[in-house]
Amino acid sequence: MWFRCLAPACLAVALVCSPLASAQDAQPERWQSLFDGKTLDGWKVVGSAQTKWEVLEGAIVGSGQPSMLVSTTGPYKNFRYRVEMKINDGGNSGLYFRTTPEPGFLDGYEAQVDSTHTDPIRTGSLYGLCHVYTKLVEPDAWFTYQIDVRDDVWRGREMTRIKVIVNGKELYEHLDFTKQFGPGHFAFQQHDPKSLVSIRKIEVLNLPDSEQKPAAQPTARPQSKPAEPPAADAAALDRVIDILAIGDQTRIHFDTTETPDLRPWVQSDLMPACRAWYPRICEQLRGEGFQPPTEFTVTFRDKMDGVAHTSGKDIVCAGPWYRNNLQTEAVGSVVHELVHVVQQYGNYRGGNRPPGWLVEGIADHIRWYQFEPIEKRRRIDWNRANYDQAYFPSATFLDYIVRSLDPDAITRINDDCRSGRYSETYWQDKYGKTPEQIWADAKAAAGA
């Protein structure tokens, strides 16, 4: 399974069996049903007047223009949330939790619902935090989504613990140290007119504020022997961190505690690139009233799948992949993540969220069309690629706009994305053409 975690902590990343039945599940009276199978009582529609939410054959069905179906009960803080749902072929939806009573697409945590949509971020993902790129669920097939959420403390730091389970298989546990969203409501997303989402079972089980654990029995110690420090504290004393200062304010921390073999490369190659390119990225992705992060950490993990991910303002890199790519794509991949550090789209609420392909396209444009030398640039297969295929195809789409329509397009588009101004008609409104027409022009210009 291929997925990218855009988070400072994502545990148990491999797919492992995790039975849904538990001691708490054995008490069905504690589960609360949020759907009676007949009406939309307890739910309200927020969004376009051209959207449609209805109950058909015992299931809630969402169609039409973008909107949200939001629970009127709540707010919920610590809970186990279980839903049976399905998405059509090519469709896109989201299961939201800890959202507001009147949410937009950026409000609250979103568990992605997507089997074959052009957005490559699939079911099982926490959008913007931990991304799954493998199709775990077939389109038009019912599946069970379970999300366990609890505010907790880990190694002395407060965080929100989010466990994601699909069809009884635990995918991972994400630790959100930024605690982006407090107690809130549940919601379902109607993403676009081509999407058809169906929900037939919605249940929530409230969890206590803290897990009850048996108290440890006291153990006698000789008075002459000092107590051992906790393992976590001892590990913290041995951290290996290089700090890169850029100007008077910006500090980037590079943590190679788990990967000491990568430290020489970090010092000789990565830190100089970050010194040169982080200010350029900040300038290009500027916006009125926006201040890019001035302190964040790039951490290298010794045992981690994938490549790299960003959550909030911190980057986490997979040591095994970097060891194999130090002379090729290693530095460029971190430049891509630096763009995500500066984008900060999740900090602006109430507007429309840009699609994943555009978010990744902006990052890949700065990487492949600005940072990487042209001789290293990837080649695009015009017969198979499309503008909404994230990463390099989307970057190529943006590059055509930069070269042919608007030299400052990256700055303007990023500002619109960060401010929530993206819409279904964005490209027509801005450039007088649909994205399909712009892509066709790009292909023609390339002689494809």
Dump pLDDT digits (tens) for 324-350: 999 999 999 999 999 999 999 865 555
Region 3-206: CATH code: 2.60.120.560
Structure-block tokens of residue 78:
């610590």
Domain ranges in the chain are 3-206, 233-343, 356-445
> How far is it, in rounded angstroms, from Cα 344 to Cα 363?
12
Query: What is the maximum alpha-carbon separation in the chain?
Result: 82
Predicted confidence at residue 178, as pLDDT, reads 82
Predicted confidence at residue 105, as pLDDT, reads 81
> How far is it, in rounded angstroms, from Cα 424 to Cα 447?
28
Region 233-343: CATH code: 3.30.2010
Predicted confidence at residue 1, as pLDDT, reads 54
Mean pLDDT by 10 residues, the chain (448 residues): 52 40 48 95 92 95 94 94 97 95 87 92 89 92 97 87 94 87 94 94 89 43 42 54 93 95 96 96 94 95 88 89 94 96 75 86 96 91 91 96 96 94 94 97 93
3-state SS assignment for residue 170 = strand
Report if pTM > 0.75. no
Start-to-end Cα distance in the chain: 33
Predicted confidence at residue 9, as pLDDT, reads 53
- Write the CA distances from 362 to 7, 186, 268, integer angstroms: 19, 31, 27
> 246: closest CA among 289, 294, 286, 283?
294
Beta bridge partners of 175: 161
In what helix (H) or strand (E) does residue 428 lie, and over which residues does it extend?
Answer: helix 426-431
DSSP class of 371: I
Predicted confidence at residue 353, as pLDDT, reads 80
> Is 190 within 8 Å of 64 (Cβ atoms)?
yes
Edge-to-edge order in the sheet of strand 93-99? 43-47, 67-71, 185-190, 93-99, 109-113
